[in-house]
Amino acid sequence: MTHSFHPTILREYDIRGIVGETLFAADARAIGQAFGSRVRQAGGSVVCVGWDGRLSSLELAGALTEGLMSTGCTVRRVGRGPTPMLYYAAKVRDADGGIMVTGSHNPPTHNGFKMVFQGKPFFGADIRGLGEIAAAGNFAQGQGGVVEDDIRLEYCDRLVQDWDGKRELRVVWDCGNGAAGEITEMLAKKLPGRHTVLFGEIDGRFPNHHPDPTEPHNLRALQDAVLFERADIGIAFDGDGDRIGVIDNEGRILWGDQILVILAEDLLKTRPGATIIADVKASQVFFEEVARMGGKPVMGRTGHSLIKTQMVELGAPLAGEMSGHIFFADRYYGFDDALYAAIRLLGIVSRMERQTLGARRDKLPHMVNTPEMRFDCADERKFAVIDEVKDRLDSEGAKVNSIDGVRVDTADGWWLLRASNTQAVLVARCEAKSVEGLKRLRAALEAQLAKSAVTLPG
């Protein structure tokens, strides 16, 4: 029997929609059938399935399981928890694939699926291929089964295994009522020190604040708690636990590239000369600091699946994105796991001698930058705008890196314009050494957009 998905849900890096509007249990069942068919065609038969705490996730996971079983696959249901727990399960159970039912950091009405296949990211053409299999009704047939495999304790123990601190810390954790809550509560009991967990109860309505640590207003409760508890550090997670937010002991936010510099400094002590990847949105400070410390910084395209693929190609032990995805292939498995990144960061802070996390942050070169600016641009137009801007810049002799959109270097600093792979938006950012320089960069960006009939938001 054939199945057609709503045209908006098959995205570049995952499948995502609004439950009851663009995403239904029938879609989950068809995803299971199509993915299971891919697994069977490749000679496999075992797929791990996990789910987050959204109100629709258990129903979707059930329909997904039915679809996978109908192709002859054995489904290992690893339970409710963060996305990296599903990635971990797929690795250590030698599964042929894994699917996580999660809406990540999106609103409560949204949900979706993240996938791995044969130990590698499943994205782009792979996801589009599921739509083609479903549209043709070309599903494998078989009689599969289910194994209940609650992996939470095992996963937690694996995280704690790489704790390498010296002194006890005061730590505040903000789970935002997301899927990392139960594991975080378990970690807090196993790690030394004094731990305070905020909003650890998994609740798909997200009653306290939205679980997206890239938005400063979502971190206010954590900042207040860090100051009240006189904590050494605050850690926040997104809705499915694959992105991290960090607050220093003075209640200030560390952004993704700043976190990555601190992690890189520690890693390069044991792996001198290592390649470390940051996405195109990262500060120039990251690239200069990693080079100064003896590492090989590499600028990569934004997108967790793209970063993971590039890590394997370059043999990089560490990578990260401004969005808070941190990837460790040093003593770990190379996927984005915010809980694991937290463990490694806590170890670093615990080993700091006569220095706080805030003091280390203050040693980083100071730059002036805009936040990430996201503004609407039709899907059929967004990539054309990038091409138009690039052509003009090339004709003007500008210094342009076009690995992902256009990143333009000037004497003042740099500005970036790229098209989102998952939404009908353009993304821009500017960074300079001074306020006046930042104004000039923004004006240059604004002028280029105007020539393509696009207005930069105020």
By annotation, the residues acting in catalysis are: 104
Alpha-carbon gap, residue 180 to 88, rounded angstroms? 14
Measured distance CA(452)–CA(296) in Å, rounded: 36
Residue with tokens 């130990």: 119
Secondary structure (H, E, C), 300-334: ECCCHHHHHHHHHHHCCCEEECCCCCEEECCCCCC
First-to-last C-alpha distance (Å) of the chain: 50
DSSP per residue, 60-74:
HHHHHHHHHHTBTPE
Which neighbouring-strand residues pair with 146?
75
- 161-191: string of b/e by CB count within 10 Å (b at 16+)? eeeebeeebbbbbbbbbbbbbbbbbbbbeeb
Quote the tokens at residue 316: 């990089």
Q: Residue 286, Cβ neighbours under 10 Å: how many?
A: 25
Please tell me the distance from the alpha carbon of residue 3 to that of residue 131, in angstroms, as a whole number: 8
Instruction: Compute the half-sphere exposure of residue 158: CA atoms within 13 Å on the CB side of its CA.
Output: 19
User: What is the identity of the amino acid at 254?
Assistant: L
What backbone phi and psi angles, to 5 degrees, belong to 228?
Answer: -65, -40
SS3 content of the chain, % helix, strand, coil (to 5): 40, 25, 40
Angle between helices 25-41 and 57-69 (to 10 degrees): 40
* Helix axes 338-351 and 181-190, enclosed angle (nearest 10): 30
Q: Are β-strands 170-174 and 233-237 bridged in parallel, bridged antiparallel, or unpaired?
A: parallel
CB 172 within 8 A of CB 196: yes
Pull the structure tokens for residue 283: 């500060």
CB 280 within 8 A of CB 257: no
Cα torsion for 292, 294, 295, 299, to the nearest 10°? Answer: 30
Cα–Cα distance, 257 to 437 (Å, whole number): 21
**Helix (H/G/I), strand (E/B), else coil: 23:** strand
